[in-house]
Amino acid sequence: MAQKFVLKTVLDFAAAHTLQGYPGDCSKLHGHNWKIEVQIVGSQLNEIGMVVDFKEIKRHAKEVIKELDHTYLNDHPHFTQINPTAENIAAFLYRQIAERISDERVAMHSITVWENDRNCVIYSEDE
Active site residue 26: yes
- Which has the closest alpha carbon to 62: 23, 114, 10? 10
30 assigned binding-site residue? yes
60 assigned binding-site residue? no
Q: Which of 26, 56, 76, 120 is catalytic?
A: 26
76 assigned binding-site residue? no
Question: Cα separation of 54 and 111, whole Å?
Answer: 15
Active site residue 104: no
Q: Which of 63, 67, 70, 125 is catalytic?
A: 70
Active site residue 120: no
Could you give the residue numbers annotated as active site? 26, 70, 115
Q: Where is the binding site, in residues?
A: 17, 30, 32
Q: Where is the binding site for Zn(2+), in residues?
A: 17, 30, 32
